[in-house]
Structure 1
Amino acid sequence: MSGILTSALAAVLLGAFVGAALFVPFVAASYRWRGGLSTRRLLLWFAALVYFWAIWTYTLLPLPSPDAVRCAGTNVRLGAFLDDIGEAISGPGTALTAPGVLQVVLNVALFVPLGFLLRVLGRRGVPAAGLVGLALSLLVELTQLTGVWGAYRCAYRVFDVDDLFLNTVGAVVGSLLALAVPRRPRGGGGDPAADRPRPVTRRRRAVGMACDGLGVYSVIFSVGLLVQLWLELVAKDPAAVAAGTSASFIGTSVGVGAWLAVVLTTGRSVGDHAVQVRFTRGALPEWLARVVRFAAGAGGYAALAALPTPWSTLALLLLVTTLVLLLVFPDGRALPGAVGGRRVVDEPTRR
């Protein structure tokens, strides 16, 4: 049980990490092609991410030490699981809790979400579910058979053709279960709502702010990680790696610089582009309004947070002010709009 819980926790963490990295393009695509971002669709895609990682964590973890690998066998006889079920039925105890039966149930259940998600998110039916289920199951089994593609001297888990069959059955069952979910009519070229004017609400602005926050810190983290790897593997400077100051400075500089460049050249932040909004002209000159847009947004927050104490506490003050003003103004203009009297309006890219 602890192994299953560990695999589940690893899948959730990996799904959350990848989801944060993909949040901005996902939001941008949703607003461009569907006219908005629904909580239901967001949760379904996050579930798909977690499920993708769960497939691998459940089938590959825990990874053994290379020195402690015990080579596993193979089963190439299709239907061997029927013998296990027969023994469980004829043997003592409850058949449903027998290891062989539980293994069959788990192999089917593991791929049920795949068929379900393929139909709900991808609008693909039973044939696609069966083919994708078989292909993914084969990829998993080959990964196990080859010892994670040569990372281990031999397979540490059993290659089983019954798993291919049961996983495929699970994907088909999931596709059939998804028939109970109401479907929106299919339309060509995206949702027509994406072409119509839409109100700018606090929720929409909050999503844009989340895009800016996750986006700028994704860049900072990614660049910082690359710098750390370079210091470790190329420069071979363990002292700089341990200090982390170089990675932090370069990562923050690149992230803040990227957000500054986008705002100064377009007048809108990355989050504004993602949710398709813009600020109207106000009392300030355009160049100054763009500077304010940057300083009062995620880029300014990241720059303030990187300052030494006590100056870094200004970042917290900016965050609190932003959240308060988000609630004050119906269009969520917050601090960038409050300075200079600018409103937030819809700016779709497909119209």
Structure 2
Amino acid sequence: MSQLVLGLLAVGLGLVLVAALFVPVVALLYRRRGGVSARDGLLLAAALVYLVAIWVYTLLPLPEATTITCAPTQLDPLAFVDDLEGAASRGHLPTDPAFLQLAFNVLLFVPLGVLVRVGLRRGVAVAGLAGLGLSLLVEVTQVTGVWGLYPCAYRLFDVDDLLTNTLGAVLGSLLALMVPARLRVRGDRVVAASEPRPVTRARRILAGVADLVSVTLTMYAVVVVESLAAAQLDDGARLDTDGPWVAVVPVVVAFALSGGFLAATGRTLGQAAVQLRYVGSPYPTALARALLFAGGIGGYQVLNALPGAASSLLTWLFTAGWLVFALTTEDGRGLPGLASRSRLADAREGLADGRRAASVDEEPAA
């Protein structure tokens, strides 16, 4: 498997992981920090792609268990020094495999040091410990044959890898000092995470993206379950994977879950993640929530499920209209707000006032 293929695989798997964690991470950041920034998103995506790349480059390709040759262990620290001296004596150090392997081991962990300083705001010591810990986890995974998956190690356990990987993380931490301070250090929050924030159009669109991601992931999860269910059954029969129900079930499950969540909570999953809610509708609660659903992710799912070529066109038109109204209506209330005649508000409105009132009431009399 070529390095290019491994790189593309790492990026692809990393982006899948980003999608899978998108909604829960957004929800976590809104509850711990009160919001999420483009910096947070980029750092998270970079960290996930990087961690996947580490495992892809160090463990893949996985060989057939019957074809592996048990690899030895190298427990002599600084043995690479002798290898480098030999390469230097041969007069082609920059192109010697021993030097290239050493350089690769160092460079592979430089991004970890950068992420530790920029993302976690920790220094050289933490970066070194992180590099040592991650390197040790990789080496133990290799020496145990991927934790017993293989009868023995199919890749060399090399104690020098622990040293060079740790060195790479430390160098990355030092190099990260060149990153502008405004990108390395998050400013102090003026407003507590529990306090209401202005409802911006960007926040509204983020909620819509979270809804779309959650529905898409739900459908793919159902497809995976269907594929597993299509395996041999106990009675020897097989499920009909060509039946129309195979395509319908993921759509129905995603629609039911997203609609049920809104019906129960008054918010979509995306709105709950970014602490938004619609309020002030003159309609009865059940009707208002149905209109919210139809003007948002519910309407999208219905149009996307229609048969024929017109489905794609209608879905794109609906999505474009949703985006236009989100950008042009007051507070980004968009189609759901227009349909239900409600406004978009921070879900923490009223809660913070209640907490402040309680704290005043509890103050002892002077």
- Paired position in structure 1 for 2:197: 198
For the residues of structure 2 that align with 1:69 and 1:259, how far apart are their CA atoms?
Answer: 47
Contact 1:15 1:49 in 2 (8 A): yes
319-328 or 216-225, which deviates more: 319-328
CA deviation after TM superposition for structure 1 residue 16, in Å? 0.8
**CA deviation digits over 1:224-251, x for unaligned, max 9?**
212321221546655523x274443332
Unmatched tracts of structure 1, length 5 or more: none
Q: Deviations over 1:70-110 (max 9, x none)?
A: 333321111111112112222133x2222111111110111
SS in 2 for 1:344: strand
Corresponding residue of 2:43:
44
Counterpart residue type for residue 162 of structure 2: L
Match of 1:281?
280
Query: Matched residues in 2 for 1:303 and 1:331: separation?
Result: 26
1:309-341 deviation line (CA, Å, top 9, x unaligned)? 367454344223212222322422221112243
CA contact (8 A) 1:35 1:191 kept: no
**Displacement, 1:210?**
0.3
Change (3 A) 1:244 1:137: farther
- 2:205 and 2:323 in contact (8 A); partners too: no
Q: In 1, are the aligned partners of 2:291 and 2:340 still within 8 Å (CA)? A: no
Q: Which residue of 2 aligns with 1:113?
A: 111
Matched residue, 1:173:
171
AA partner of residue 341 (structure 2): G
Equivalent in the alignment of 1:307: 306
* Whole-angstrom distance in 1 between the partners of 2:176 and 2:309: 54
Query: For 2:185, what is the secondary structure of its paired residue?
Result: coil
Residues 252-331 of structure 1 aligned to structure 2 (within 5 Å): 252-309=251-308, 312-313=311-312, 314-331=314-331
* Structure-1 separation of matches of 2:108 and 2:244: 44
Q: 1:145: how far off?
A: 1.9
Contact (CA 8 Å) 1:34, 1:191: kept in 2 or not? no
Task: Tell me the C-alpha RMSD between the 2 structures.
Answer: 2.5
* Matching of residues 339-350 of structure 1 within 5 Å: 339-348=339-348
Q: Which moves more between the two structures, 336-345 or 101-110?
A: 336-345
Following TM superposition, the consecutive aligned residue runs of length 4 or more in structure 1 with deviations greater than 6 angstroms are none
Separation of aligned partners in 2, 1:215 and 1:237: 33
- What amino acid maps onto 1:117 in structure 2? L
1:65 match: 64
Q: SS of the residue aligned with 1:121? A: helix
SS of the equivalent of 2:22 reads: helix
SS at match of 2:56: helix
User: Normalising by the residue count of structure 1, what TM-score does the alignment of the two structures yield?
Assistant: 0.89
3-state SS, counterpart of residue 345 of structure 1: strand
1:332 aligns with 2:335: no
**Percent identity of paired positions between Structure 1 and Structure 2:** 46
Q: Does the CA contact (< 8 Å) of 2:292 and 2:339 recur in 1? A: no
SS in 2 for 1:240: coil
Deviation at 1:198, TM superposition (A): 2.4
Q: Could you tell me how far 1:221 is from its partner in structure 2?
A: 1.2
Q: Distance in 2 between matches of 1:213 and 1:63?
A: 34
Corresponding position of 1:213: 212
Provide the rounded CA distance (Å) in 2 between the counterparts of 1:224 and 1:202: 33
Following superposition, the deviation at residue 199 of structure 1 comes to 2.2
Q: Report the residue type matching 1:3 in the other structure.
A: S
Aligned residues: 346
Contact 1:48 1:117 in 2 (8 A): yes
Q: Aligned partners of 1:74 and 1:116: how far apart in 2?
A: 30
Deviation at 1:63, TM superposition (A): 1.9
Equivalent AA in structure 1 for residue 185 of structure 2: R
- Please list the CA deviations of residues 92-132 of structure 1 after superposition, one character each: whole Å capped at 9, or x if unmatched: 33x22221111111101111222222232233333332233
Correspondence list, 1:48-197, <5 A: 48-93=47-92, 95-181=93-179, 182=181, 183-184=184-185, 192-197=191-196
Displacement of 1:50 after TM fit? Answer: 0.4
| Equivalent position SS for 2:30 | helix
